Amino acid sequence: MTESVHITSTEDPPDPDLAELQQRETIIIDPYTVPVRHVGPVGTRELPAQGSGAFATVLSTDMQHILGADLTRKRALLVCAAAWEYSASRTGGGVPIPANAVIDIRHCDSVYAKVTTGTAELSTITEHWAE
Protein backbone atom coordinates (compact mmCIF):
# COMPACT_ATOMS: atom_id res chain seq x y z
CA MET A 1 0.00 0.00 0.00
CA THR A 2 1.34 3.37 -0.94
CA GLU A 3 0.94 6.39 1.30
CA SER A 4 0.45 9.74 -0.30
CA VAL A 5 1.95 12.93 1.10
CA HIS A 6 0.16 16.19 0.58
CA ILE A 7 2.17 19.38 0.93
CA THR A 8 0.19 22.51 1.46
CA SER A 9 1.90 25.85 1.09
CA THR A 10 0.53 29.17 2.09
CA GLU A 11 1.20 32.17 -0.04
CA ASP A 12 0.92 35.73 1.12
CA PRO A 13 -1.70 37.78 -0.66
CA PRO A 14 -0.25 40.44 -2.97
CA ASP A 15 -0.96 43.25 -0.50
CA PRO A 16 -1.17 41.70 3.01
CA ASP A 17 -2.29 43.83 5.90
CA LEU A 18 -0.45 43.83 9.25
CA ALA A 19 -2.77 41.26 10.88
CA GLU A 20 -2.13 38.77 8.05
CA LEU A 21 1.63 39.16 8.38
CA GLN A 22 1.63 38.83 12.17
CA GLN A 23 -0.45 35.65 12.27
CA ARG A 24 2.61 33.53 11.42
CA GLU A 25 5.08 35.31 13.71
CA THR A 26 6.37 33.61 16.81
CA ILE A 27 5.65 35.64 19.90
CA ILE A 28 8.77 36.38 21.93
CA ILE A 29 7.90 37.41 25.47
CA ASP A 30 11.36 38.62 26.44
CA PRO A 31 13.24 40.25 23.54
CA TYR A 32 16.58 39.74 25.38
CA THR A 33 16.16 35.97 25.75
CA VAL A 34 17.54 33.75 23.04
CA PRO A 35 16.79 30.02 23.15
CA VAL A 36 20.05 28.10 22.79
CA ARG A 37 20.86 24.42 22.62
CA HIS A 38 24.54 23.60 22.52
CA VAL A 39 26.36 20.37 21.94
CA GLY A 40 29.84 20.12 23.42
CA PRO A 41 31.96 22.68 25.26
CA VAL A 42 31.00 26.33 25.25
CA GLY A 43 33.65 29.02 25.53
CA THR A 44 33.10 31.76 28.08
CA ARG A 45 34.86 34.94 29.13
CA GLU A 46 34.97 36.33 32.63
CA LEU A 47 33.55 39.82 32.91
CA PRO A 48 35.74 42.51 34.47
CA ALA A 49 34.84 43.86 37.88
CA GLN A 50 32.65 46.96 37.92
CA GLY A 51 34.26 48.50 41.00
CA SER A 52 36.92 48.00 43.63
CA GLY A 53 38.05 49.17 47.02
CA ALA A 54 41.17 48.96 49.17
CA PHE A 55 41.68 49.48 52.88
CA ALA A 56 43.85 48.41 55.79
CA THR A 57 42.71 47.12 59.18
CA VAL A 58 44.87 46.87 62.31
CA LEU A 59 44.33 43.38 63.68
CA SER A 60 44.55 42.44 67.35
CA THR A 61 44.21 39.10 69.14
CA ASP A 62 40.40 39.43 69.10
CA MET A 63 38.47 38.26 66.03
CA GLN A 64 37.53 41.38 64.01
CA HIS A 65 34.93 41.89 61.28
CA ILE A 66 36.79 42.65 58.02
CA LEU A 67 34.17 42.21 55.26
CA GLY A 68 30.40 41.87 55.47
CA ALA A 69 28.35 39.46 53.41
CA ASP A 70 28.05 41.03 49.94
CA LEU A 71 26.41 39.40 46.90
CA THR A 72 28.07 41.91 44.57
CA ARG A 73 31.61 41.01 45.65
CA LYS A 74 33.56 39.24 42.92
CA ARG A 75 36.63 38.59 45.07
CA ALA A 76 38.79 39.93 47.87
CA LEU A 77 42.56 39.79 48.28
CA LEU A 78 43.88 39.73 51.85
CA VAL A 79 47.53 39.97 52.94
CA CYS A 80 49.19 40.60 56.31
CA ALA A 81 52.86 41.05 57.22
CA ALA A 82 52.34 38.85 60.31
CA ALA A 83 50.83 35.39 60.70
CA TRP A 84 47.06 35.68 61.15
CA GLU A 85 43.85 33.65 61.35
CA TYR A 86 40.89 33.73 58.95
CA SER A 87 37.33 32.85 59.99
CA ALA A 88 33.78 33.06 58.63
CA SER A 89 32.39 34.07 62.05
CA ARG A 90 33.41 36.09 65.08
CA THR A 91 33.10 33.09 67.41
CA GLY A 92 34.47 30.39 65.08
CA GLY A 93 37.96 29.00 65.17
CA GLY A 94 40.34 30.64 62.74
CA VAL A 95 42.36 29.02 59.97
CA PRO A 96 46.05 29.90 60.36
CA ILE A 97 47.49 31.93 57.46
CA PRO A 98 51.26 32.48 57.19
CA ALA A 99 52.75 35.97 57.00
CA ASN A 100 52.84 37.65 53.56
CA ALA A 101 50.59 35.00 51.97
CA VAL A 102 48.04 36.54 49.60
CA ILE A 103 44.61 35.02 50.18
CA ASP A 104 42.22 35.23 47.22
CA ILE A 105 38.65 34.90 48.52
CA ARG A 106 35.95 34.30 45.90
CA HIS A 107 32.81 34.08 47.98
CA CYS A 108 30.21 36.52 49.29
CA ASP A 109 30.27 35.56 52.99
CA SER A 110 31.49 37.66 55.91
CA VAL A 111 35.21 37.61 56.72
CA TYR A 112 36.76 37.84 60.19
CA ALA A 113 40.45 37.92 61.10
CA LYS A 114 42.86 38.18 64.03
CA VAL A 115 46.57 37.83 64.76
CA THR A 116 47.84 35.29 67.28
CA THR A 117 50.07 37.77 69.15
CA GLY A 118 50.43 41.55 69.20
CA THR A 119 49.00 43.65 66.39
CA ALA A 120 49.48 43.75 62.61
CA GLU A 121 47.96 45.49 59.60
CA LEU A 122 45.78 43.44 57.22
CA SER A 123 45.52 44.90 53.71
CA THR A 124 42.30 44.20 51.81
CA ILE A 125 41.47 44.77 48.13
CA THR A 126 37.94 44.03 46.96
CA GLU A 127 36.42 43.77 43.49
CA HIS A 128 32.68 43.97 42.81
CA TRP A 129 30.44 42.79 39.96
CA ALA A 130 28.07 45.74 40.38
CA GLU A 131 27.70 48.77 42.59
Report whether pLDDT(37) > 90.
no
Q: Apex CA 108: angle with CA 36 and CA 86, to 5°?
A: 140
Distance, CA of 112 to CA of 45 (rounded, Å)? 31
pTM above 0.75, yes or no: no
What's residue 98's pLDDT? 96
| Structural domains of the chain sorted by starting position, each given as residue range(s) with its CATH number in brackets | 51-128 (2.60.120.770)
More confident residue, 25 or 117: 117
Q: Where are the beta strands (DSSP E) in the chain?
A: 51-59, 64-67, 73-80, 84-87, 95-97, 103-105, 111-115, 120-128
Quick check: 131 pLDDT over 70? no
User: What is the predicted pLDDT for the residue at 94?
Assistant: 87
